[in-house]
Amino acid sequence: MLKALGSYLSSIRARDPAPRSRWEILTYPGVWAVGFHRIAHALYRADLFLPARMVNHLSRFLTAIDIHPGATIGRNLFIDHGFVVIGETSTIGDNVTIYQGATLGGTNPTTGIGGKRHPTIGDNVIVSLNAAILGPIHVGEGAKIGASAVVTKDVPPGATMVGIPAKPVPVLVKEEPAFVPYGTPCSEKFDPVSQRYELLKCELETLRARLDAMAQEEQTARKAGKAGDAA
C-alpha cells in the first residue's frame, strides 16, 4: 500500500513542479478527494448508498471537490485545486489530470432511466480549468480539453479541443512535450480572447510542415530520377 501511495505521489510530482517533496503533495485537496472517493466508491458498490453519500459530503466540505461515489476512477488521477465536479456514471482512466473548475456532467435521460449519463475519459487525458465535458461521450486517450471548452461530442485520441462548442485544433504532435500543463495548445500564451489567432497560427504551422515534407519528397524523387538517367 505504501508503495502504491509513493507511486501515486510521484506521478503527481511529475505533472506539478510546485511541491518540494512527495510529502508536501499529501496536503493537496485533490489527493484527499481521491482518497475519500476510494472509500465512498467501495461503500457504493456494496449498496451502502447513504454511508457513501456521507463520505462524499465530508470530502466535498473539506476539499471543495465533488466526486459522486458511483464514479469509476483509474490510477493516478491528479485533481489540481478544487471546485471540480465528477458525476455518478463517469469513468476516468489512468494518469488523468483535471484542473480547477472542471465538470464531468451528465445529461437528463428522456426515458426516465438513469443509465450511462456521464463521460468516459481515456488514459493520459488533460482537462483544463473550467472545462465542461457533458453527456455519455468518450474522450480518447491522450486528448487535451482546453480552458473553458464545452465538449458534447466524442473526442478522438490525441486531439486538442477548444471553444464552445469544442472543436479540435491542429497541433504538431512532434513538437509537444510529454506533458502539457493545462492542455495549452501551441503556445503557453493561449488565451480564449485571442483564440482565432491561435487557431490560424496552428494551421499555418501545420501547412508549413506539410509543405516542407512535400518539398523534401520532391527533392528525393528528383535525385532518384537523375541517378536513374545517369545509369
For 90-114, the pLDDT digits (tens) are 999 999 999 999 999 988 766 555 6
Q: Is the dihedral of CA 98, 101, 31, 121 positive or negative?
A: negative
Q: How many domains does the chain have?
A: 1
Cα separation, 207 vs 3, whole angstroms: 47
The answer to whether position 144 is within a domain reads yes
The answer to whether position 152 is within a domain reads yes
Looking at per-residue confidence, does 94 or 195 come out higher?
A: 94
Looking at per-residue confidence, does 226 or 198 come out higher?
A: 226
pTM over 0.85, yes/no: no
pLDDT, tens only, 133-174: 999 999 999 999 988 899 999 999 988 898 888 888 765 444
Cα separation, 90 vs 106, whole angstroms: 8
Q: How far is CA 189 from the centre of its chain?
A: 19
The answer to whether position 92 is within a domain reads yes
Looking at per-residue confidence, does 187 or 52 come out higher?
A: 52
**Strand, helix or coil at 97?**
strand
112 conformational bin, left if phi > 0, alpha if psi -120 to 50, beta if neither: left
The answer to whether position 195 is within a domain reads no
Instruction: Read off the pLDDT band of 197 (50, 70, 90).
Output: low
pLDDT, tens only, 71-89: 999 999 999 988 999 999 9
Cα separation, 211 vs 134, whole angstroms: 38
The answer to whether position 115 is within a domain reads yes
Residue 229, pLDDT score: 66
Provide the domain limits for residue 9.
2-188
The answer to whether position 218 is within a domain reads no
The answer to whether position 142 is within a domain reads yes
Given a cut of 70, whether residue 132 has pLDDT beyond it is: yes
- Alpha helices for the chain (secondary structure H): 2-13, 22-25, 29-45, 49-63, 195-230
Cα separation, 154 vs 163, whole angstroms: 15
Rounded mean pLDDT of 52-63?
A: 96
Cα separation, 183 vs 200, whole angstroms: 18
Residue 22, pLDDT score: 84
Cα separation, 106 vs 207, whole angstroms: 38
The answer to whether position 39 is within a domain reads yes
Q: Is the dihedral of CA 38, 41, 45, 46 positive or negative?
A: positive
Residues ≥6 apart with Cβ < 8 Å to 31: 8, 9, 12, 25
Given a cut of 70, whether residue 199 has pLDDT beyond it is: no
Tell me the CATH number at 103.
2.160.10.10
Cα separation, 196 vs 199, whole angstroms: 5
